[in-house]
Structure 1
Amino acid sequence: MNALELDGELVRRARELAARAAAPVVDLARTHTTVSVERAVLRLAGLTGTDPVLGDGEVPWVNRVVDAVREQVGLEHGVALPVWHALGRDGSLQELAEQVGAGTARFSIPADPEPARDAARAAVAAGMARIDANRARRDELVALHGDPPRRPWIYLIVATGDIYEDIPQAQAAARAGADVIAVIRSTGQSLLDYVPEGATRTGYAGTYATGENFRLMRAALDDVSAELGRYVRLTNYASGLCMPEIAVLAGLERLDMMLNDAMYGILFRDINPRRTFVDQRFSRMVHARAGIIINTGEDNYLTTADAVDEAHTVTVSQLLNETLAHEAGLADWQLGLGHAFEINPAVPESFRLELAHALLARGLFPDAPLKWMPPTKHMTGDVFGGYLLDGFFNLAGALTGQGILLVGMMTEAVVTPWLSDRDLALRNVRYVLEAAGNLHEDFAPRPGGFIDRRAHTVLTEAVQLLERIADHPQGLIQAIADGTFGITKRSPDGGKGLDGVARLAADAYNPALELMEGVRV
């Protein structure tokens, strides 16, 4: 496609600075663990279910076991050695969990760790094998049914709170043209330090992310994929306090995309930065292994900050997300880096500015399936004006070659969309994409013109900001504390979940990391 001719030296400098800015975060993630990382290890090894004594599905066995290990020997060694040492030769994880529930389980660090290491590695390898088989199965189904016939893929949110209501709505959306179905999570789930169990029917403004809900929706979309003759992808959210566990469940149930941003939980859910960065590295390693595309959340910055004045912070975040994703093993084709159509439509030349920002992202990340987000901040309740604005958003996506296009709703900020609203929104998308076709092949901004100059201004401002971040000893963590992204300040020692972080001892062992380290897609 025709694109901006970006300054190659400036682009190289931006990536070099992003790597320097992210280095303290990478070191932090490599030298620490969290309760959710360790619970994810037990999930990979097959431990499921909840303690029936302690509530209605609200205390999973993985939480009970990890909490008991932490109380008795600490988390600095990981859970694998104490758990599989306690299991001995013939015990099962389920039996051990029940002993924890009864208060009779005793954990210690073995003097000879090799037997426990071997047993833990074998148990976790079984979970990894299931993830590998799911990746292979996805490839088979894509080969059988085919991909959507054009890009961008049309991405539509479906979530009623009741998984059994979500399923027919998701299938109807696929029949109406959606290529990716996103089941948004119930409000507040990111702040739960456990993953609910089973199929759920009571969510608020979304449906709980659980392994069973994942399984049910994936099976339903497999059915409609066979009916339509194209593979319909499923998205959910690997964010919040249980990011690693949800990533594992997604791999075990063959989800295709996951919302997985390095900073979203910190900025918009006040989750501790250290907890988030450790969790995001592990979760992204799982996504890399599973062949899952991640979606990042830069669009959210523009809901709190001005989309023109702070455009460079989106670019900086994209570069940092790319750096951290590559370090965790994700390939370019898995990087659904986020950006949004959020400039105030009353601003002169607003559409040209949107094109400049979108083309900058496309030029910086030519092999990434960028996720283009619709207008929300300036949707006023005028459904006719909103429908027109969404049409311009769709046109910008076609003009700039975006990879994933989230369907905008004319009733945004008015009501939860009805099925009829979704149908009209999908008609808008289909009309623009079918009418514009491959218009991006013919669209080339004039060198030195308005769009070209604006894109280079944003890139230059991004490099200047990255220089300030990279020069600070704490890098990205300090930038967040300073309110660099989304004008939201978060302290390194504040927020939720810090008590679930532990520095690793020299003899710490995580079989999942051992199996995933060095794996590159």
Structure 2
Amino acid sequence: MPASKLDLDPVTVRKARALARKAGRPIVRLAQQHTTVSVERATLRLAGLAGADSEGTPWVNRLADAVRADVGLEHGLATPVWDAIVQGQADDLRTLAEKAAAGSVRFRLPEGRDATRARSAAQRAVGQGIRRIDQRRRERDRLIKRHGDAPRTPWIYLIVATGDIYEDIPQAQQAAREGADVIAVIRSTGQSLLDFVPEGATREGFAGTYATQENFRLMRSALDDSSKELGRYVRLTNYASGLCMPEIAALAGLERLDMMLNDSMYGILFRDINPIRTFVDQRFSRQVHARAGIIINTGEDNYLTTADAVEAAHTVTTSQLLNEYFAKEAGLEDWQLGLGHAFEIDPAVPESFRLELAHALLARELFPKAPLKWMPPTRHMTGDVFRGYLLDGFFNLVGAMTGQGILLVGMMTEAVVTPWLSDRDLALQNVRYVLDAAGGLHEDFRPAPDGLVATRARQVLGETIDLLDRIVHDTDAAGDPPLLAAIADGTFGLMKRPPQGGRGLDGVARKAPDYFNPATDLLEEGR
């Protein structure tokens, strides 16, 4: 670990992590004690069930709903589903799903040898999906070795999403030619609230493109062509969040995506998804990401779109520490932790640039081995494209000075229009100029030990410890884990989300003593 530029007290840093563990452990236990419909549907997807009926409802939803109606969710879907196959009610999952949708098959909870046979069959089927994810990870490694990797860090991360996957592809390929190292296809607005994953290639989406397995396949194939053309591996990002977080994570692993937006609290705070549902789903999804070698991107930058970036800076650091704990507990390694933070201080605040430096350098020193994801200004972009272009240049400079790992390209047309190709070209020119001119500046930058930058960073870390201490020692009358109480109180992003509120709670079940899921078993064993 390089010498600290901020003179952070190692004891203080260890205390912050210890408090994050104390706050996070009850949440992990909660996740281990529950399952969700999406975890169970992800298991069916890993076993190869795909496609949808004539109305567009995925077969995994049809089968899961039928099994749940007959025997409940708390035992897991695997035992009753593969019992039906072993008993000869269908030859495969697709046929079984069709029969279940037609109401021509009933499910039971087998016992004794029947249960053993069903579970063995389930393990074999789901194991094939896990092995496919392993193969795709090895394939990524081979392609990076063959084509080469991005020539430097930070990786330049660019968003492309027109709503039409067939329009996204040429834009993504052109962005790669202009210097983008990571292409992010953001999801259509509202997809996180759908309790199903659409099927097939999609050509309509609002402010984004639907996350589907076929869209993943098409874009990955196109960027593989670009990797060959450019002589460097071009990475692909999408979003594993919302009500179908585990399923999308599984599809990402199967289709060799490289990064996934996967924050532990984003869906709770900004999409009003039930907290318990979210924490159960995120643990499973992160286990899949760990197995697939996918880098996660967390969403702390979003807090600063609703809360003041100076006053709430410590909530960002608190969330980063929690995200780190949850991620490592699920099996992710340091190199997979794209912890998020953002350049969102009001430019009118005196010394705003120096404060941004302090916050960015604090994140860099707290997580020295993580490829931090640095997010550009959005909240205070006014529509003045000249001012916006300058702010993005300042943002890129802070990224260079503090050694960030993933730099999301800022757009001067932020908050005005969906960017044109020409906007992206100008934004990429901005990034390239700053990195070419000052890419190694972090080697020379040393803030004064008692100057504003170092003092501010230590202040934020102290406020982080105070907040974590309050969370850990909070006594909740309902007996909920203290972190759930803190979320309910509006601690993060000013959003108040109670444990029994939000969307998706009806899709959560406490595990029965005989709960069985071969996917969770295999993912745990692989750690």
User: In structure 2, what residue type is equivalent to 1:519?
Assistant: G
Query: Which residue of 2 is the match for residue 72 of structure 1?
Result: 70
Give the distance between the partners of 1:77 and 1:362, measured in 2 at CA: 43
**Which of 138, 141, 144 is the equivalent residue of 1:139?**
141
- 1:121-147, CA deviations, whole angstroms, 9 ceiling, x for partnerless residues? 000000001100000000000111111
Give the distance between the partners of 1:30 and 1:4, measured in 2 at CA: 38
Query: Which residue of 2 is the match for residue 28 of structure 1?
Result: 30
Secondary structure of the corresponding residue to residue 157 of structure 2: strand
Give the distance between the partners of 1:411 and 1:311, measured in 2 at CA: 26
Query: Which residue of 2 is the match for residue 499 of structure 1?
Result: 506
Secondary structure of the corresponding residue to residue 184 of structure 1: coil
**Which of 149, 160, 168 is the equivalent residue of 2:151?**
149
Q: Offset of 1:317 from its aligned partner?
A: 0.2
Secondary structure of the corresponding residue to residue 123 of structure 1: helix
**Which of 390, 394, 397 is the equivalent residue of 1:395?**
397
User: In structure 2, what residue type is equivalent to 1:228?
Assistant: L
Give the distance between the partners of 1:22 and 1:484, measured in 2 at CA: 15
User: In structure 2, what residue type is equivalent to 1:230?
Assistant: R
User: In structure 2, what residue type is equivalent to 1:417?
Assistant: P
Aligned 8 A contact 2:160 2:185 in 1: yes
Query: Which residue of 2 is the match for residue 172 of structure 1?
Result: 174
Give the distance between the partners of 2:436 and 2:20, measured in 1 at CA: 38
Secondary structure of the corresponding residue to residue 101 of structure 2: helix
Query: Which residue of 2 is the match for residue 62 of structure 1?
Result: 60
Give the distance between the partners of 1:343 and 1:184, measured in 2 at CA: 24
Secondary structure of the corresponding residue to residue 369 of structure 2: coil
Give the distance between the partners of 2:411 and 2:83, measured in 1 at CA: 54
Q: Offset of 1:518 from its aligned partner?
A: 4.1
Aligned residues: CA RMSD: 0.9
Query: Which residue of 1 is the match for residue 516 of structure 2?
Result: 509
User: In structure 2, what residue type is equivalent to 1:486?
Assistant: G
Secondary structure of the corresponding residue to residue 389 of structure 2: helix
Q: Mark the runs of 5 or more structure 2 residues left unpaired by the alignment.
A: 476-480
Give the distance between the partners of 1:483 and 1:423, measured in 2 at CA: 39
- 1:339-360, CA deviations, whole angstroms, 9 ceiling, x for partnerless residues? 0000011111100000000000
C-alpha spacing 1:355/1:518, structure 2 compared with 1 (3 Å): farther
User: In structure 2, what residue type is equivalent to 1:154?
Assistant: I
Q: Offset of 1:472 from its aligned partner?
A: 2.6
Which residues of 2 match residues 454-469 of structure 1 at below 5 A? 454-469=456-471
Query: Which residue of 2 is the match for residue 303 of structure 1?
Result: 305
Q: Offset of 1:178 from its aligned partner?
A: 0.2
**Which of 129, 132, 153 is the equivalent residue of 1:130?**
132
Give the distance between the partners of 1:512 and 1:212, measured in 2 at CA: 22
- 1:393-428, CA deviations, whole angstroms, 9 ceiling, x for partnerless residues? 000000000000000000001111111000000000
Query: Which residue of 2 is the match for residue 103 of structure 1?
Result: 103
Count of residue pairs the alignment pairs up:
516
- 1:7-32, CA deviations, whole angstroms, 9 ceiling, x for partnerless residues? 11111010010011111210110000
- 1:316-345, CA deviations, whole angstroms, 9 ceiling, x for partnerless residues? 000000000011000010000000000011
Query: Which residue of 2 is the match for residue 227 of structure 1?
Result: 229
Give the distance between the partners of 1:106 and 1:294, measured in 2 at CA: 39
TM-score by length of 2: 0.97
User: In structure 2, what residue type is equivalent to 1:384?
Assistant: F
User: In structure 1, what residue type is equivalent to 2:484?
Assistant: I
Q: Offset of 1:464 from its aligned partner?
A: 0.2
Q: Offset of 1:437 from its aligned partner?
A: 2.4
User: In structure 2, what residue type is equivalent to 1:195?
Assistant: V
**Which of 198, 201, 221 is the equivalent residue of 1:196?**
198
Q: Mark the runs of 5 or more structure 1 residues left unpaired by the alignment.
A: none
Q: Offset of 1:89 from its aligned partner?
A: 5.9
User: In structure 2, what residue type is equivalent to 1:257?
Assistant: M
**Which of 505, 510, 526 is the equivalent residue of 1:519?**
526
Moved over 6 A (4+): none
Give the distance between the partners of 1:444 and 1:125, measured in 2 at CA: 51
Give the distance between the partners of 1:222 and 1:7, measured in 2 at CA: 45
Identity %: 74
Q: Is 1:93–2:93 an aligned residue pair?
A: yes
Aligned 8 A contact 2:163 2:210 in 1: yes
Secondary structure of the corresponding residue to residue 494 of structure 1: coil
Q: Offset of 1:486 from its aligned partner?
A: 0.4
User: In structure 1, what residue type is equivalent to 2:298?
Assistant: T
Secondary structure of the corresponding residue to residue 517 of structure 1: helix
- 1:411-448, CA deviations, whole angstroms, 9 ceiling, x for partnerless residues? 00111111100000000000000000211011111112
Q: Offset of 1:519 from its aligned partner?
A: 3.0
Aligned 8 A contact 1:329 1:519 in 2: no
Aligned 8 A contact 2:66 2:101 in 1: no
